[in-house]
Amino acid sequence: MDKFHEHLANYQAQIKKDVEKRLAFIREQIDGPGLNGVVVGISGGIDSAVTAALCVRALGRERVIGVWMPAYSQPVHEADAKQLAEAIGLNLVTVDVGPAFDALVPAIQSVLPLDDKTKGNTKARLRMTVLYAVANQKGCLVADTCNRSEVYVGYMTKGGDGLADFNPVESLTKHEMRILAKELGIPDSIITKAPSADLWEGQTDEQEMGFTYEDLDRLLITGETRPEAMERIEYLHRISEHKRNLMPGI
């Protein structure tokens, strides 16, 4: 067994202890300041599923609001969001951000054209606007769903899914998230689905990043990966430093 798979096997062996640690962390963030609960953006993907499941276990169903925010989203993601809610007992509501997107993008494009990536990032920022509106109204915090792999290469939208109040999964790589998802009873369709931010039709994480999650996770866990992937990963890590730090000032 190589170092990568040995690490994952060790994580599997300690999974119950890790779950308890994360549940305690969530309770500390919410119960410590005396807040009402948590709002989680639900994408139909594994990261938001794991985050929501942890929050429901930590706080109970009545204190967690999952928000599905379609914007011309693929039907498979909506189906998985609903399946997740049934599996973990999540209070799931829907806010369609498509109309807001349709109104905002033409207004911006009257000034300059937007490519698919920028339009996708605009969707992510509209979704975060919804989450904070719900959180403000309900006296809750917004839970971040970005994992360690995504954070390292900046694969999140600044002001979008990269913005939140606390993160109960930030130390977990994508492969560890899959192990945890099974422990938490996340549906297999979510665990095995190709990761996607649902920013445009056919978009997948690995296609956009230019390497696989195994390439990335091997580097994070063992310090080694394919040379061609290493170059791309470190480039993305370098140019995304501003996403991981508080803004500089003078």
Which are the catalytic amino acids? Answer: 47, 150
Annotated binding-site residue? 174: yes
Annotated binding-site residue? 189: no
Sheet-wide strand order for 91-94: 91-94, 64-68, 37-42, 140-142
Annotated binding-site residue? 119: no
Annotated binding-site residue? 96: no
CA 82/CA 71 separation, integer angstroms: 16
Annotated binding-site residue? 28: no
Q: How many CB atoms lie within 10 A of CB 139?
A: 10
Annotated binding-site residue? 242: yes
Annotated binding-site residue? 48: yes
Annotated binding-site residue? 212: no
Annotated binding-site residue? 125: yes
CA 181/CA 169 separation, integer angstroms: 11
| Residues of the binding site for Mg(2+) | 47, 150
| Residues of the binding site for deamido-NAD(+) | 125, 158, 165, 242-243
| Residues of the binding site for ATP | 41-48, 145, 174, 196
| Residues of the binding site | 41-48, 125, 145, 150, 158, 165, 174, 196, 242-243
